[in-house]
Structure 1
Amino acid sequence: MRKNVVGGFILAVMTAVVIGLGNLFGLDLQHVALLGTALGAVIGLVPDRAPWERVVGFLAGFAFAWIGFALRAALLPDTDAGVAVAAIIVLVACMAVSVATATRLPLWAMLVGVAAIVGAYEDTYSNAPSLFLHESPTAATNVLLAVALGYLATAFLGASVFANRAHETAANGTSASELDPAQDDLVSEKTL
């Protein structure tokens, strides 16, 4: 319990640091501070897979969504159908990577990466699709900085969260196999 309080306090401080860095360096970080640190905390806290697998999954989803914006800007019509086609391409790419890696790169982490860039850039893109090459790198670096600080604030808590759940489950009489994150994958050998 104490670790969770400390982790939450560190996360709140990191969110303030992101906003402070934005003010100090003239960056537009206040719009993505909470989004980025919260999503980084999710990557750090969820005790599924190794930390590098979660981070690489996040970055893969982030990259796929950024490519989705590039497709919208360059090739697809600026209509609901164009947005839908880009979304389908991004989600299929995430699913394909998850399946190709036998879920070593978890789908959920990729979806968090998609959410990060979409949350940080969709409004800006909608206002000026033609400025994709100029505006998207700024949005990407801003939210990635916030995500990194959120991840760093909570990464050390992931194992304790899993241990707490194991303790709670043992107290409730649930078997240990029900705690195995590999048993809970969206795509597993059983569903294929």
Structure 2
Amino acid sequence: MKGYFLPGLFLAVATGVLVWGGEWLGLELQHVALLGAALGGATGVVPDRAPWERAAGLLSGAVLAWIGYALRAAWLPDTSAGRGVAAMLVVLACLLIAFLTNGRLPLWSFLIGAAAVVGAYEVAYTAAPPEFVETSPTALTTVLLAAAFGFLATVFLGNTIEEERARERGRYGFDDEPDAVRADPGEPVDDTARGPFWERALR
């Protein structure tokens, strides 16, 4: 736990600086700083896949959510049905890309990116859907900037957390790896033993 203090302190300071600096620069970061920093920090701290793969998933999910708003503004009616169709298409697109990358870009990181944009932009979009072209780029870039600060603050904690969890499993006698995965170094490992794709993508 001691290793968490410095990255956590950096994340807290970075969030405060984002709010103050955003106002000074004329950016509306105060409304999305904590949201973006928290979701970016969560993406950085989860010890699943390489950091660039997690970051790519978050960015892709954010862009897909932005495209969902574009569909709502251009073609879909501003009703519960229209919003439901847009949400369904965004989630399906996230799932499709995670599938095409064979889980290298984890599905959970896509969903975090999409949630960041929805949390930052839904209220502004609902207030003025025709102003999508003018308002959406600001919302997208500001929440991603905040997420980038959060990600950088915690990305180096992943290995520490993974090591701690391994020690905990050994201490309490837990063993979450199947026998086929724990093969001898000289034997080929059957990756299907880790379970179907959708389970691996959500890890």
Deviation at 1:185, TM superposition (A): 7.7
Q: Is the 8 A contact 1:18 1:146 kept in 2?
A: yes
Deviates more, 1:2-11 or 1:78-87: 2-11
* Rg comparison, structure with higher value: 2
Aligned length: 187
Percentage of pairs with the same residue: 51
Query: Could you tell me the TM-score, scaled by structure 2's length?
Result: 0.87
Match of 2:137 in 1: 137
Deviation at 1:158, TM superposition (A): 1.0
Match of 2:102 in 1: 102
Provide the alpha-carbon RMSD of the alignment.
1.8
Q: Is the 8 A contact 1:61 1:109 kept in 2?
A: yes
Secondary structure of 2:29's aligned partner: coil
Structure 2 distance, partners of 1:51, 1:184, is 23
Structure 1 distance, partners of 2:153, 2:14, is 7
User: Which amino acid in structure 2 is aligned with residue 187 of structure 1?
Assistant: W
Match of 2:187 in 1: none
Structure 1 distance, partners of 2:3, 2:196, is 27
C-alpha distance 56-184 of structure 1, shift in aligned 2 (>3 A): farther
1:67-78 correspondence to structure 2 within 5 Å = 67-78=67-78
Match of 1:173 in 2: 173
C-alpha distance 71-114 of structure 1, shift in aligned 2 (>3 A): same
User: Unpaired segments of 5 or more residues in structure 1?
Assistant: none
User: Unpaired segments of 5 or more residues in structure 2?
Assistant: 182-190
User: Which amino acid in structure 2 is aligned with residue 78 of structure 1?
Assistant: D
Structure 2 distance, partners of 1:73, 1:110, is 22
Deviation at 1:6, TM superposition (A): 1.8
Dislocated runs of 4+, deviation >3 Å:
182-186
CA offsets 1:145-169 (integer angstroms, 9 cap, x no match):
1001001111111110111111111
